[in-house]
Structure 1
Amino acid sequence: MTPTTTPGLALRLALRGDLLDFTGAPEWGATESPVVRFRPDHWLLIEGGRIVGAQAEAPDSSWPRHDHSGQLILPGFIDTHVHSPQLDVIASYGTELLDWLDTYTFPAEQRYAEPAEAEAGAARFLDALLAHGTTSAVVFPTVHKASTEALFAAAQARGMRLITGKVLMDRNAPDGLRDDVTQAERDCVDLIDRWHGTGRLSYAVTVRFAPTSTPAQLAMAGALCRADESLYMHTHLAENRAEVQWVRELFPEARSYLDVYARAGLLHRRSVLAHGIWLDDEDRALLCRCGAQIAHSPSSNLFLGSGLFGWRAAERAGVHVSMATDVGGGTSLCQLCSLQDAYKVQALAGERLTAWKGLHAATLGAAESLLLADEIGSLEPGRMADVCVWDWASGPVARRRLSVARDLHEKVFAWMTLGDERNLVATYVAGLRVPV
């Protein structure tokens, strides 16, 4: 899947529809919020790949127009934790996290040692993201350098904002998926030199999780982060109780799972930590101090039986929370499905997640957490025109529910709860429409 117009072409485009985005962070539980910006039946103006404005009246004839009236236009979703090689194992039966890795994930990832498989998989994965309404992502490839190369190249060809990096694993992994500290460092440095900051691409120092890296490899990863503060760090944290116990056995000197990363110098403002279910108050205070974010992955947490994420506790502690699908542990690349499950997770914890809080965490909130709010996450002038057009309702049940909705939040919550990728009408990356 490639844009329908040559990337970089300075085109003008006007999209008509119901514009929805955020100007700030909604309060927990508030169904009416001043930071929700809803502009029904407006024109979104795009020039040179960026949003230049929005207006109620139709633009003049110099603007090519796409009329999506009666449909919803949002910033493209941002997925802050997802695995590119795991499309092959999505919806696999019967395991918790550690068995999942051994039974399904690692065999799938071994295939990416072949450059042709890595290239085909990268294209398949990114096209699937776009077809589910996600235009930016923080991605785990595999331990193989070729898989990272392929992912960067495919994202560059599609004009996408992508953050990724070679996975680091030098122990507790099968043959073909282990590296060593010296070679891994060489590979990372080469990939950083070639790809980091190229176009819309950024590099993430990507530690699989603490059990699959020796202390020496964790120290090397921390040194990379210290050498260049513009690098991201991406890993897993406290997803599963058996995993937490394993970390305790492997790192008895650490106060907690999170402390393992802190000791290695891996916690900073660009750190993305997936899951973060089994944390205590001291962990959350540390996350707040370093400015790291939790990539909440509710579909995966439910599917693998990992636990219920304490979103309210994280928010009260000042921790950034963004939304993630975690495919293949998650069962859909569509962030609407993740938000549906996020609502259920919070309901089980005695809380209620509003549409505003959820959608903010998948758009502007995620962009802010990644320090990319000047580029993605909203429909503000100057932002890249990564936008998606959605049907408000698909099918007679959803259409009936929409017709009796009493206010904007009820209408948007019904769309969020009943919708999925079948509601997606169009995806634009930097103002260029891609086939979906």
Structure 2
Amino acid sequence: MHSYRAAILRFADDRSAIYEEDGLLVVGPDAKGRQVVRAVGPYATLAPDYPGVAVEHLPGAIIAPGFVDLHIHFPQVDVIGSPAAGLLPWLENYTFPHESRFVEEAHCSELATFFLDELLRHGVTSALAFATSHPSSVNALMAEARHRGMRLIAGKVLQDRHSPDGVRDETEQSLIDTESLIRKWHGQDRLGYAITPRFAPSCSEAQLRGAGELAAKYPDVWIQSHVAENLDEIKWARELFPASRSYLSIYDDFGLMRERAIYAHCIHFDDEDRALMRSTGAAAAVSPTSNLFLGSGFFDYEGADRIGFKYGLASDVGGGTSFSPFHTMLAAYYVGREGQTKPGVSLSPQNLWWQHTAGAARALGLEGVIGNLQPGCEADFVILDPRATPLLARKTAQATSLDELLFSLIVLGDDRAIARTVIAS
């Protein structure tokens, strides 16, 4: 076992933060040899219970759960910051040409290394990631994540129509490849597989039907896609699937709405859509930097909480503009302030942090496994330096409450505030 003495942030079941100014985090192997939280609490209370256990003292630092990114595109690292009039031209002019390169195994491997380096540098210890339509992209990403001992969920994109050469796949082969990848990677160490229709307009009815059949056959895998991001996209989806009540209902009609199903964006919803999310157990990946960058709209926090469905925060790189959870949380704060049907929603710093850690874990069905530092959780965590920059140091030194401290980090923090990222391997 090993222990760390520092300020410690974790979350209670009611989403509120628990903060120990002088805390002790004790980690040790579970039955599988994986490092988990054995104990956490005030240093003065816990230290006598662990005589002889080495203590790494980190004065001035904050230990917090590793961030969980609920929606990110592995192949879009080089697409960040590309100018476009909106979602559909952005896909056509930038995304699809870049993704076509992932037929090359060397390119897949090089970018997988860079991508995971960036996640960890920004304190992201778990992610739900899109690969491309090429199985080689999944194999490269999964192999690199397994080598590092990361908890990662990813999947091969399904897109057998309305897609250019180089990224469009073939219906039957795409489903064969998906099942093969499930069998190869799902449940290996800390890896999980996600059945990944790109979005309904890019998939034929036969492909969506096959994806739903695989979801039924493998109920513990994840499902991920996009929905209700952009008004032109919604119009297109409704034209292609006129029998479905709404864009979201298309996925339900093909058996793709259930626990462990994560839908990115979920902006342009009505209450029937929200009720469908709640009743099926599906969750939304809120992607505020992407939505602001592409001008797509605002996630309705008030509506989500009123109806009661699950959600968490996501970077959505490369439509999203940063790997940084601090930037994502700040953008979510802007969305809460400006983009609600009922004005004046103010997301608290504790709630924003919860959305990117324990809340995202809950959305994935991994509550109590990742995204928190309660006993039994896997010991993925970040060591934060609240004095990483002169302005951040000045601001955090004046904090008189936990909310002020966390909000200072959200507004002023970036990768420099991540002193170290620790993986439970």
TM-score by length of 2: 0.94
Aligned length: 412
Secondary structure, aligned partner of 2:127 = strand
Deviations 1:201-242 (A, max 9, x none): 111100100110001100000000011210110000111111
The match for 1:97 is 87
Supply the distance in 2 between the matched residues of 1:403 and 1:16 (Cα, whole angstroms): 20
Letter in 1 for 2:80: I
Does residue 1:377 correspond to 2:371, yes or no?
yes
Distance in 2 separating the partners of 1:159 and 1:238:
34
Aligned equivalent of 1:18: 7
Match of 2:32 in 1: none
Any conservation in 2 of the 1:393–1:415 contact (CA below 8 Å)?
Answer: no
Higher mean displacement: 206-215 or 360-369: 360-369
State the 1:182 CA deviation: 1.1
Q: Give the distance between the partners of 1:357 and 1:411, measured in 2 at CA.
A: 14
Q: Tell me whether 1:395 sits opposite 2:395 in the alignment.
A: no
**Structure 1 counterpart of 2:356:** 362
Contact 2:73–2:130 under 8 Å retained in 1: yes
* 5+ residue gaps, structure 1: 1-11, 27-34
How big is the shift at 1:61?
Answer: 6.9
Instruction: Give the structure 1 partner of residue 18 of structure 2.
Output: 37
Unaligned runs of 5+ in 2: 30-34
1:128 equivalent to 2:128? Answer: no
Correspondence for 1:56: 43
Distance 1:19 1:249 in 2: 51
User: Offset of 1:71 from its aligned partner?
Assistant: 1.1
Contact 2:5-2:43 at 8 Å conserved across structures: no
Aligned ranges 1:129-168 → 2 under 5 Å:
129-168=119-158
Q: Does 1:68 align with 2:62?
A: no
Contact 1:41–1:70 at 8 Å: present in 2 too? no
**Contact 1:25/1:357, CA 8 A, preserved across alignment:** no
Q: Distance in 2 between matches of 1:88 and 1:288?
A: 35
Work out whether residues 161 and 168 of structure 2, in 8 Å CA contact, stay in contact via their aligned partners in 1. yes
Match of 1:5 in 2: none
Partner of 1:222: 212
Q: Does 1:259 align with 2:249?
A: yes
Letter in 2 for 1:220: G
Paired with 2:119 and 2:400, the residues of 1 have a C-alpha distance of 32
Could you say what secondary structure the match of 2:72 adopts? strand
Residues 381-427 of structure 1: CA deviation (Å, up to 9, x unaligned): 11111000111243232222223223221121111221111111000
What per-residue deviation string (whole Å, max 9, x for no partner) do you get for residues 100-142 of structure 1?
Answer: 1011111111111111111111111111100000000000010
SS in 2 for 1:300: helix
Q: Is the 8 A contact 1:85 1:121 kept in 2?
A: yes
Query: Counterparts of 1:283 and 1:250 in 2: how far apart (Å)?
Result: 18
CA distance in 2, matches of 1:72, 1:219: 47
Instruction: Describe the superposition over 1:262-307 as per-residue Cα deviations: whole angstroms up to 9, x where unpaired.
Output: 1111000110000000111110011100010000000000011110
2:399 partner amino acid: A
For residues 114 and 162 of structure 2, the distance between their equivalents in structure 1, rounded to whole angstroms, comes to 29
- Are 1:46 and 2:27 counterparts? yes
Please give the alpha-carbon distance, in whole angstroms, between the structure 1 residues aligned to 2:298 and 2:387: 29
State the identity %. Answer: 42
Q: 1:313 to 1:393 in 2, by over 3 A?
A: farther
| Cα distance in 2 for residues equivalent to 1:397 and 1:363 | 25
Moved over 6 A (4+): none
For residues 190 and 25 of structure 1, what CA distance do their matches in structure 2 show? Answer: 40
1:200-349 map, 5 Å: 200-349=190-339
- Paired position in structure 2 for 1:30: none
Q: Distance in 1 between matches of 2:405 and 2:112?
A: 36
CA contact (8 A) 1:274 1:295 kept: yes
Give the corresponding residue for 1:9: none
Confirm or deny that 1:83 pairs with 2:64: no
